[in-house]
Structure 1
Amino acid sequence: MTTLASLFDLRGKAAFVAGASSGIGLHTARLLARAGASVALAARRADRLGDAVTQLKEAGYRACATSLDVTQPDSISVAWADAQQQLDQPLDILINNAGVIHIERFTDQSREDVTRIFDTNLKGAFLVAQEAARQMVAQGGGCIVNVASSAGLRASGHMSSYGASKAGLIHLTHIMALELAGKGVRVNALAPGNIRTDMQASFSEHGLEESIRKRIPMRRFGEPSDLDGAMLLLTSDAGRYITGAVLPVDGGQILSWM
């Protein structure tokens, strides 16, 4: 008999977390490990992964680190293979989380900034998901969670390239889900609002934090732990019939633009 606890149990699964050096990625790696999954932490700043992996291992979890630059296709395939080798099992879950943000008026953004945002947030996410999907189809199934943003669901000033890149990722999620559903691979998107991470600190630097907080119906910024329920739903058997969904976790923020 299936119990409530077993629905969210990830024991026997292996997860690859892209962008795991800090913020949502690092928190998610720890969450999935606590749920029973073996976890590969992947990031461009691989030097920042060592302590996190050590802490997970000392707590009794299976974890490894691998270097990943999502803008380089060869880096993606090498990182995926390295993670599988270190964990000694196929990867069942991808958390496609690597991303960067740039806050500036549309007319003032440089071509270099626009290229950097789209290369990481959309093209990079596409390439990582493509590698994962090919491997998952070959092994008979898997689960992909693209970490988008509520900024991809609504218009917000000073975030044109970031918002457009996340909107593209959301639409990519729909197409991936449509194509892969019959091959045993579920694809969904998580759309966090303003979550207190290093990235969120950018809004404080631009003097925007208080004005944003006032637009959130719950009148507070989210904590990484506020994403836990949604993340476990999308990665576990509790969400086995969910694909192509975009789940906002934003304290009702998108409602204030309606």
Structure 2
Amino acid sequence: MNSPSPSARARLRHALLRIGAGRHAPEADLRTDLECALSELAEEMLGERSRVGSVTLGSADHTWGRNLGLRLADHDVGLPNLLWRADGSALPTRVRETHPALRQDEWEAALLVGKLILTVLESEPDPDPDPEPEPVRDEAVPHPQRLPRPARAPGRESFCRSLTDIAEHGNPQDELTALLRTTLLAFASETPDNQEAAQHIAVLSTAPPQPAMRLCLSRSGLSLGQVLLSADGCPVPGSVLEEFPDLNQDEWNAVMHVTGLVLSAFETEPANAAGRLPHST
């Protein structure tokens, strides 16, 4: 696996954050930026194994409004929805072989945190889907889009900022961990599952000679992004197939690839690539 260039993570991070922050940006522009940045990081980290081309930026209408997020193009379903269906799925054999110290509860926490991060990066739902007199039309979607889209709610904004702080600010890792856990629960609500997952995660610094801040499992120190990327090729969970029987292996690989790459985008660059050392406690 190749090391990504210093700019690849940053470009994907910027494209992801624009989904919710680019209130005046046409949907097609956001989609192009996201797909290009995702493909670039995938090529460098996954090479020919990458299946991220199955994922795009799309819109969905909900009872609470219309928003933008990462979706499987051929199924028109959001990645968080697919990961929700994987709740409670068994730790895949291949992942266990790659990370022998990983436990079932940590695997479940990795999936839960992954889908919460994918969710928080979506645009704020627009409660009024009716178009204005002069809507901006996007050829890739069948209905008009309203601009500007709603601004991020405070809870969503705080969670996004805590993720960005991991990659862009040299704060002590304990401080970053506390902020991440607090904002995650403020955004997702303090249910028992979310509280348990929050305790399973931490922001930790990798060891020299390439120290970098990463979102990790607190007990084992394993990178969440690497754990999810190691699920490449693992069978589609039965609970997912029950809801989406036409989902194939390549598409499930795409879900794991994109989720892992999104988490990797919020890591700091290795110190010798970025030209600076992150702080640690």
Question: TM-score of the superposition, structure 2-length normalised?
Answer: 0.29
User: Normalized per residue, which structure has more strand?
Assistant: 1
Which is bigger in relative contact order (C-alpha 8 A, separation at least 6)? 2
